[in-house]
């Protein structure tokens, strides 16, 4: 690989690591780490609440 390709790969890997860390933090909540067994129409609401808690923790 030449230098621009290596730089692009490095930037992509840094972004991927950040996303994987966020997913790992969200999986602390059991609802996201295991199979969801409740009504599907409430999953979106619950996911948004968990994401809000995560964002609140960042600030």
Number of domains the chain is built from? 1
pLDDT on residue 36: 86
pLDDT on residue 40: 87
Q: Is the pLDDT of residue 18 over 90?
A: yes
Please state, in angstroms and rounded to a whole number, the distance separating the CA atoms of residues 48 and 55.
10
Q: Which domain holds residue 27?
A: 3-58
Average pLDDT of the chain is 91
The whole-model pTM stands at 0.71
Tokens matching residue 21: 């860390």
């Amino acid at each position: 690989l030449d230098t621009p390709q290596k730089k692009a790969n490095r930037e992509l890997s840094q972004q991927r690591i950040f996303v994987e860390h966020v997913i790992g933090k969200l999986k602390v909540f059991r609802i996201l780490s295991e199979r969801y067994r409740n009504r599907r129409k409430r999953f979106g609401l619950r996911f948004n609440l968990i994401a809000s808690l995560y964002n609140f923790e960042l600030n």
